[in-house]
Amino acid sequence: MKKGNWAALLPIGVFLVLYLGLGILFEYVLDIPMGFYNIPIVVSFLAALLVACVQNPKLSFDEKLKVMAQGVGDKNIITMILIFMAAGIFVGVVGRSSAESVAYFLLSIIPAQFAVIVLFVVSCFISIAMGTSVGTITLITPIAIAVADASGFAVPLCIGAVMSGAMFGDNLSFISDTTIAACNGQGCAMKDKFRANFAIALPAALVTLLIIFFRSAGTQSATAIVKDYNLIQIIPYLLVLIGGIIGINVFVVLLIGILSGSIIMLVTGTIESTALLANMGSGAAGMYETTMIAILVSAICALIHEYGGFIALIDFIKRIFRSKNGGKLGMGLLVGAMDIATANNTVAIVMANPIAKEMSEEYHISPRNAASILDTFSCIFQGVIPYGAQMLVAISAAAELGKEVTAFDIMPNLYYPYMLLISSLIFIFVIPNKEK
């Protein structure tokens, strides 16, 4: 048995100081827009890896390379990287034009007084289909501004509904990088994690709908938003969603989505074949940073594990959280702390995965519940932090349309993340959960 070694956690500290420290400097001192996202996160992780390699002189550099290779070569890491690539190609093929079609279709058939509810529901569907909360917010926020102008609803309420729906889908989508990272990091099937997550997310979403309904009930709606839409491009998204729910292998599901999307895009004349191939390449390339982060974090965590860092951390957690339910909460707070520090829920999950894996074995938590906790709590924190990409993109999109809103205007209207936290705590401490 290795002994716990707190010094082995130094690489994580180095990364947090570099990334969080520079992020705060850029964002709040130098007032650089999207300051956190101007920092090369891959370089920050490389610096942390260098520190890990310098530590523990008892191991030769060649032995450290072997340890890192074993960490990176883990089956779950390789699977995760391949799924990242396939998901990127899928999004590159189908594009994002169908998102607006879904929104305008529902806005055309549902009375204007329910427009904010439509924004939430549309954002839920689009983020599940696309697997990206930031992409959903980018697409739907301009529609939310148009709804606010036409119907009289408050801009922060409309944006809050979009962000809430985006985090719902980001948490549940089969092609979301958070889902991919959590499932492969904990070694569970996506359909099992989806079922565990859905039981927590659905009550939170329903309560959110009720809150939005009562918040918007007193507003005198003016006119509805009517624009052209084309729903045929939704078919690939639906096939991926249905295939994932019924349990088809994720690679097969993504292949079906890629093939169906390619056929639809070519037959309808939406895109030429050469441009389609280019989009496939750009979609895969869009996953470069996420893939490199997964590789670097796996190497760093392999060294930290070898040095005894995880043992020290788990021993500390065990002294605070003694029961299985306490262990689940500790796991959630762990990934939440990582998310607060990195402002990126995927990175937070990738960093927390190896520690959570050992915690799940220590506390006898099933892989599907561990994956669900990691994804859920990372989305809770990511959905409300004022410096996260989701919030910054929403504020930027509103500003481009002449609407000046701040993070603190929007945060009181982020009902879904708050309800998701309450639902998660209920499922951890109140409702019995059989481990499988």
pLDDT at 208: 96
Would you list the domain boundaries of the chain? 79-285
Q: Tokens 């709590």 appear where?
A: 377
DSSP 87-122: HHHHHHHH-SHHHHHHHHHHHHHS-GGGHHHHHHHH
pLDDT at 216: 80
Q: Tokens 């979009």 appear where?
A: 162
pLDDT at 2: 62
pLDDT at 368: 92
pLDDT at 418: 95
Q: Which residues of 91-129 are buried (b: 16+ CB within 10 A; e: fewer)?
A: bbbbbbebbbbbbbbbbeeeebbbbbbbbbbbbbbbbbb
Residues 25 and 30: their CA atoms lie apart, in Å, by 6
pLDDT at 279: 86
pLDDT at 96: 61
SS3 404: coil
Averaged over successive runs of 10 residues, the pLDDT of the chain (436 residues) comes to 78 84 79 72 88 90 91 78 81 70 74 85 84 79 83 88 92 83 86 90 95 79 64 79 76 86 85 87 82 84 84 80 86 85 78 85 89 93 82 81 84 94 93 61
pLDDT at 160: 94
Q: What are the φ/ψ torsions at residue 384 (nearest 5 degrees)?
A: -120, -15
Token pair listed for 187: 């070694």
Token pair listed for 262: 């390619």
